[in-house]
Structure 1
Amino acid sequence: MPWLHVDSTRAFRSLIDFRDDFAAKHGFELIAYSNEEGRAAGINPFDRGNRYNLAMRTEPLKTTFDAGGYDVISGGARRDEEKSRAKERIVSVCGAGHAWEPRQQRPELCSTTPA
């Protein structure tokens, strides 16, 4: 099964090592993708603000989804890091163009609040 990592070029070496080891140990086909044009242009989170997230994370993720023709994906994000992430569901449905509308999401099937 393919396992995708969108490398925003700002990952710690330990994350890359973990990614590679995990994929090898569990037999995943690792697909690592990064925006090489953005890297060459020197886009970084320190002087570009949200442009960095869009150029180095969001758009490469969409590009990779389209290229792979994926029907289902699994991802992870810490809900406590940003308010918009707290609205994300365990199962989240997206529409054409990867559009996500929080108000259209289905109810949670279980509690995600830590005990």
Structure 2
Amino acid sequence: MFFAILAYHAEGVVESWTPQEDAALMDDLLATHDRLVTQGHMGPAARLGPVEQAQTVRGLGDGMVIDGPFAETKEQLLGLYVVDFPSQEEAVEAARELRRANPSAVYEVRPIMLYVPGASLARP
């Protein structure tokens, strides 16, 4: 079964890290990623761009484009992982591993009700 692990963090905190601090954190996260890939559990993962570049489309018809995320919170959705585990408990354990690598982040685990693989995101 596929699960989404949504990574939340205070964007200002993430942006305050030096390139060296960010690289060290990513080394720790990538060690977890590599293990999950080797075990066949890790699917696509992405670090999202800044909230200030986000736009929300909502409303009737074609919708209205609103700058920024829909919700005003202290923590923003900054990344996501798609994982494949037999149970949600195992997906939660993967989120705990990610949190051990990035202890100031918050991870939300949600079942994916419909997964439609798309085209490759490889750059031409």
Q: Same fold (TM over 0.5)?
A: no
Q: Which has the higher contact order (CA 8 A, sep 6+)?
A: 2
The structure whose residues are more often strand, as a share, is: 2
Question: What is the TM-score when the length of structure 2 is the normalising length?
Answer: 0.29
Question: What is the TM-score when the length of structure 1 is the normalising length?
Answer: 0.31
The structure whose residues are more often helix, as a share, is: 1
